[in-house]
Amino acid sequence: MRFLLAMAWRNLWRNPGRSAITALAMGVAVALSMATLALQDGMFSEMFQIMVEQQLGHVQVHPGGTRTLENTLHHGEALTERLEALPSTLAVSPRVQGFALLSGEGSAVGAQLVGVDPAREPAVSPLLSKRIRGEALPVSAARRVLLGYKLAEKLQAEPGSELVVFTQGADGSLANELYTVAGIFRSGDAALDRAGAILHYRDLQELLVLGDQLHSLTLLARDKTALPAYAQQVRDALGDPSALVQTWREASPETAEMMSMQDASSGVVLGIVFVVAAFGVLNTMAMSVFERTKELGILRAVGVRPGKVVGLIVLESLLLSGVAGLGGLVLGGALDLYLVRVGMDLSSASSDGFSFAGVMLNPVIHGEVRPLGVLLILSSVVVVALLASLFPAYRAARLDPVEALRAE
C-alpha cells in the first residue's frame, strides 16, 4: 500500500501544470461553495429570527374558530402563568391585536396594533430590541407606542409626537385614545415596518374593551427539536379542547415551506462542487492514463494485477482531491471568516436592505458557518473524485499488455 501511495503521488505530479490547474479549479470551487453556503445560511438564519422567533414563536395558542376581535382567550393572566409553570416552557408572552386609524400631524393612516407585555416579550422574541430611535416601551401601561419606521414616515411622527387612535371596541363601541410615540423600530418584517404599531397589551385591552382577554399566546420551548410533544403538553395544561395549539410550522405552512428552501439551496451549491470536481478529475485521470499507456502495459506485463492498477488510479484521484480540498478549505475558511465578521454590504442597492418573501433583510448580510455544511462540501469532492476516477481506472485495468507496449 505504501508503494502504491508513493507511486500515485509521483504520478500525480509528473504533469505538474495540469494537476495544479485541476487542483486549483477544484479548490476555488470548494472555497466559493463554502462562502456561498455561509452567506445562504446567514440569510436564512436572519429570516428564521424575523419570521419564527420574532413573530410566530415555537408554539402558538389561539382561541378556536375564526380569528376575530371578539374571539379571545379568557382569563389571560391565569393562562399565561399556567403555561409558564410547565417545565418544558422557556418563555411565554401574551399578545393582543387589532386594527385602527392613526392620526398624526402629517396624515391619518390605517395600522395594525400589536399589544405585547414588555416584561415578557424580550424572552420570546427580539421584536422590542429592534428600536432604532427613541425610548423603550415602558414595562407598565402608560399609553406609549412604538411605530414601524415606514409608518412613522407616513405619519411624520418622531419620538415624543402625539397620535390619536380611532378604532372599534369588542363590544361594538367606538374607541379613541391619545398616545405618545415612545420610539421607532425596524423589525425586518416588511408588513410590520410599514403598518405596525406596538403598545402595552394592557393599553390595547383597555382600548378594545377586552378586559383580561387575549388573542394569542406565543411560547418558546426549551427543546425546539421536540415541538409536537411540547404542543401536546400545552394542550393538556390548557384543558380546553376548543383552544387551538399549533407549532410554528402548523401556524404558518408558508414559512415552513420557505425555510425548507435552505436545504434546496445547499443542494445547488453541492451540485456545483460535484460538476467541477467530476469534470476536473475525469479529465486529468483520463489524460494521465492515455499518456501512460505503455507504462501501464509494462506493469500489467510484469504481473501487476488489474485491481492494483485500479487502486493506483483511484489513489491518484483521491490525492488530487485531497490537495484541492485542503487548499479550498484554507481559502474558504478565510472567506467565511470575512463574511462572519464583516459581512457582505448590499447597501449600494438599497439603504433599507432588500426584501425576500416579505422579509426585509439588513443591507449587510453576515455569514453563518455550519460545520456540517463544510463537511458535506469536502466529502462531496472526495466522493465525486472517487467516482470520476473509476472509468479511467477501469480502462487502465483492461489494457492488453501487448497492445499497450506497442503504443507510441
The residue extents of the domains of the chain are 2-51+259-406, 64-242
Q: What's the pLDDT score for residue 302? A: 66
Q: What's the pLDDT score for residue 356? A: 55
Q: Which residue has the cell 416601551?
A: 137
Q: What's the pLDDT score for residue 310? A: 75
Q: What's the pLDDT score for residue 152? A: 93
Q: Report how far residue 104's alpha carbon sits from residue 181's, in angstroms, rounded to the nearest whole number.
A: 10
Q: What's the pLDDT score for residue 378? A: 85
β-pairing verdict for 174-185 and 131-134? antiparallel
- pLDDT per residue, tens digit, the chain (408 aa), is 676 777 777 777 777 887 788 888 888 888 888 888 888 888 777 777 766 766 678 899 999 877 888 899 999 999 999 999 999 999 999 999 999 999 987 688 999 999 999 999 988 888 888 899 999 999 998 999 999 999 999 999 999 999 999 999 988 888 889 999 999 998 877 788 999 999 999 999 999 999 999 999 999 999 888 889 999 999 999 888 888 999 888 877 777 776 666 666 767 767 776 777 677 777 776 776 666 666 666 666 666 677 777 777 788 888 888 888 899 899 989 999 998 888 887 665 545 555 555 555 667 778 888 888 888 888 888 888 888 777 777 777 676 665 655 555
Q: Report how far residue 77's alpha carbon sits from residue 25's, in angstroms, rounded to the nearest whole number.
A: 62
C-alpha R_g of the chain: 31
Q: Report how far residue 193's alpha carbon sits from residue 181's, in angstroms, rounded to the nearest whole number.
A: 15
User: What residues have CB less than 8 Å from 350, skipping those under 6 apart?
Assistant: 363
Single pTM value for the model: 0.63
